Amino acid sequence: MVTTNNPDYHIEIDVEQKRPKGEIACGDVFQSCIIREEGRTIMVLSDGVGHGIKASVLATLTATMALKYTKLHTKPEVAARIIMEALPQNSEGKESYATFTIIELDDEGRVRIVNYDNPRILVVRNGISMQPKEYELTIKGEENTGKILLCKEFTARKEDRIIFMSDGITQSGLGDKRFPMGWGINKVEDFVLNQVNRMPDISATKLARKIVNQAMMHDDFSVKDDTTCGVMYFREPRKFMLITGPPFYKIKDFDFVGRIQDFEGKKIICGGTTAEIIARELDLTVEIQHGNKNLNTLPPSAKMEGFEMVTEGILTLGKVEDILENYDSDTRLQDTTPEDVVKLLLEHDYIDVIVGTRINWAHQDPDQPLELELRKFVVKRIVKLLIHKFFKKVKIEYV
């Protein structure tokens, strides 16, 4: 999920992937980066020819170069030529092949899409398909005669959606009586519009999963080709605050709690001492929730008025970091306390993290690892994952 300086909307992004049964690597590769100093976000989806390791290598090479040259503002037709020349030849002397889609957007909402041989990009606005102006760029070099890039440019608005995909989606069901030529981009478009009009606030994650699941259904739930679908959803931002640790100076407790009380959005507390300070200053009660599903490894979570949940501190955050680190499109979160925290983090866009720097002497045990002694190390890793893996806009404040 990506944010812009434009306060009007947040950009939620998610990508769903499936690979054919028996393959250990996906031949579709998605890469992205945020260039904060330029206010740019770049995403690339590449589909390598064939399946498995070979396709994955080709797609990774293509996506990496496409991302690099786009960051450097290289003209798309020039970058495409360099990519074509770099791809290795097979044993018969024929060039290897990988498609690519490059999506670039800036903080003003300007979007540029460069597409080479992937299915057509879908843009949905006000429940109907929008057709931005499209132009062609010829890839440089005699060896690339006839190869063109299809480009679109437009300025996004709140509630717009952009859907991009590999041909595993459009070719699903190929050879079946219903879809002898595959599902096809036009039927994919009809499916997307139906979902959006039935559920106007459907998330990027849910829409991407619905499209991939529908494609899988066409192939009896066992895809025949690497299958990827990505969705970008420009929507109202959701704000969230995570508080962990008491402030360094006890005299600052009142100001610390005032900062939290004034926050407009959902809030959680990770840390018993922190919760006690906030409860004391606001004259609230912390109610322990017995029967929590924490596999007996964590203290039970608690409830407090005005907060979504109250949890144990550093141990919970350590598990949250592990879940975020290993999270992918196949992850299904359960109902343990750390997973509930992860759900809340992933549901929100603008995340304020308040880190108290007072030492918790309960964790000053030489047998405990460093991560349990210094919560800020764990928090820094969580923040890094939220920004770079999940495209959250995160502000961290030490008190």
The full set of domain ranges for the chain reads 2-235, 239-398
- The answer to which of 94-98, 210-214, 241-245 has the lowest mean pLDDT is 94-98
Q: What pLDDT shows up at residue 174?
A: 92
State what percent of residues in the chain have pLDDT above 70: 91
Whether the Cβ atoms of residue 299 and residue 313 lie closer than 8 Å to each other:
no
- pLDDT greater than 90 at residue 6: no
Q: What pLDDT shows up at residue 255?
A: 87
258-317 residue pLDDT tens = 889 989 899 999 988 899 999 999 999 988 877 666 655 788 889 999 999 999 888 899
Which residues pair with residue 304 across a beta bridge? Answer: 307
Nearest in space to 310 (alpha carbons), one of 276, 335, 339: 276
pTM: 0.77
Nearest in space to 116 (alpha carbons), one of 44, 182, 42: 44
Q: What pLDDT shows up at residue 367?
A: 47
Q: What pLDDT shows up at residue 94?
A: 59
109-143 residue pLDDT tens = 999 999 999 999 999 999 999 999 999 999 988 88
> Would you tell me how many other CB atoms lie within 10 Å of the CB of residue 236?
11
Whether the Cβ atoms of residue 272 and residue 263 lie closer than 8 Å to each other:
no
Q: What is the mean pLDDT of the chain?
A: 88
Average pLDDT over residues 48-73: 94
What is the DSSP annotation of 221-276? TS-SS-EEEEEEEEE---EEEEEES--SSGGGHHHHHHHHHT--SEEEEE-HHHHH
- The class (CATH top level) of 2-235 is alpha beta
Instruction: Map residue 163 onto helix, strand or coil.
Output: strand
Average pLDDT over residues 231-255: 89
Residue 312 to residues 20, 320, 338, 343, Cα–Cα distance (Å): 41, 12, 10, 17
Instruction: Output the six-digit token pair for 204.
Output: 């990027």
Whether the Cβ atoms of residue 12 and residue 236 lie closer than 8 Å to each other:
no
